[in-house]
């Protein structure tokens, strides 16, 4: 076989993995790997995941040949993973235009609730919840449009996530883009791996937060933020 033919037979996931390893980049479930994906790769990934998903259905002894409900399930699930719910791993982040803080805003600003949808890394079960973001700007802080917070959150959450890590990834990105004096994020979410399976508790929610800068140093600011978010 010629090298081109060998290359043709290599699964796209192996090629992407090799590029990541050569660059010594981490590729955990909640990492974005868009820089290592070449044009056309996602279509090939879709085919590869479809094939393997079909293998899962076969192993579960589901008659996809005769059961019309599941005849296209492998493809649907592959599309859902690659193009929708885990898309935040494969596409570059939303473009954010930052504006200088011309009005010299320096009062606590709260954005939320923003609805967030994700899946847990442990079971790939949905995680659905809300986040609130508190920003304390200074005169050098960049201002971004309100809708951009939701776009950034969606990109971070569209990956298999661990709630504690998701809020930190979100905080890091907002911190980097806007450089505020203080940043606070609270996330409250239902984890379907606790409702649908496991303990089957329908009501429990997980709440966690990150506090940075002024929110960490100033208990009054922290209290003000927490009292203003309607939970
Ligand atoms: Zn889980």
Q: What angle do CA 64, 70, 72 make, to 5 degrees?
A: 95
What Cα–Cα distance (Å) separates residue 3 from each residue in 7, 20, 26, 128, 183?
Answer: 6, 21, 28, 46, 52
**Ligand 1 centroid, distance to 62 Cα (angstroms):** 24
Protein residues placing their CB within 5 Å of the ion ligand 1? 120, 122-123, 193
**Ligand 1 centroid, distance to 164 Cα (angstroms):** 13
- The pLDDT tens digits of the residues spanning 87-142 come to 999 999 998 877 777 777 788 999 999 999 999 999 999 999 999 999 999 888 88
How confident is the model at residue 9, as a pLDDT? 84
55-77 per-residue burial string, b: 16 or more CB within 10 A, e: under 16: eebeeeeeebeeeeebeebbbeb
pLDDT surpassing 80 at residue 86? yes
The whole-angstrom separation of Cα 9 and Cα 18 is 15
**Ligand 1 centroid, distance to 3 Cα (angstroms):** 42
Long-range contact set of residues 16-23: C-beta below 8 Å, sequence gap at least 24: 16/41, 16/45
CB 64 within 8 A of CB 54: yes
> What are the residues whose beta carbons fall under 8 Å from the beta carbon of 52, sequence distance 6 or more?
none
**Ligand 1 centroid, distance to 121 Cα (angstroms):** 6
Q: Maximum CA pair distance of the chain? A: 70
Q: Map tokens 């982040």 to a residue.
A: 93
pLDDT, greater one: 7 or 199? 199
- The pLDDT tens digits of the residues spanning 196-230 come to 998 888 888 999 999 999 999 999 999 999 999 98
């Amino acid at each position: 076989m010629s090298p081109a033919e060998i290359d043709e037979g290599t699964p796209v996931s192996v090629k992407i993995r090799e590029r990541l390893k050569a660059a010594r980049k981490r590729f955990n479930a909640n990492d974005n790997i868009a820089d290592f994906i070449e044009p056309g790769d996602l279509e090939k990934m879709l085919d590869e995941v479809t094939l393997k998903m079909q293998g899962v259905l076969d192993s579960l002894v589901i008659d996809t040949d005769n059961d019309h409900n599941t005849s296209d399930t492998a493809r649907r699930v592959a599309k859902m993973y690659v193009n929708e719910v885990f898309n935040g791993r494969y596409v570059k982040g939303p473009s954010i235009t930052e504006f200088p803080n011309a009005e010299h805003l320096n009062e606590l600003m709260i954005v939320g609730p923003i609805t967030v949808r994700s899946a847990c890394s442990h079971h790939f079960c949905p995680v659905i919840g809300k986040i609130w973001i508190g920003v304390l700007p200074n005169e050098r802080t960049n201002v971004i449009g309100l809708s951009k917070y939701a776009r950034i959150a969606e990109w971070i959450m569209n990956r298999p996530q661990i709630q504690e890590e998701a809020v930190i990834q979100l905080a890091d990105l907002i911190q980097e883009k806007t450089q505020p004096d203080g940043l606070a994020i609270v996330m409250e979410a239902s984890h379907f791996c606790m409702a649908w399976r496991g303990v089957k508790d329908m009501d429990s929610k997980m709440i966690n937060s990150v506090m940075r800068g002024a929110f960490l140093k100033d208990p009054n600011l922290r209290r003000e933020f927490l009292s203003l978010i309607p939970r």
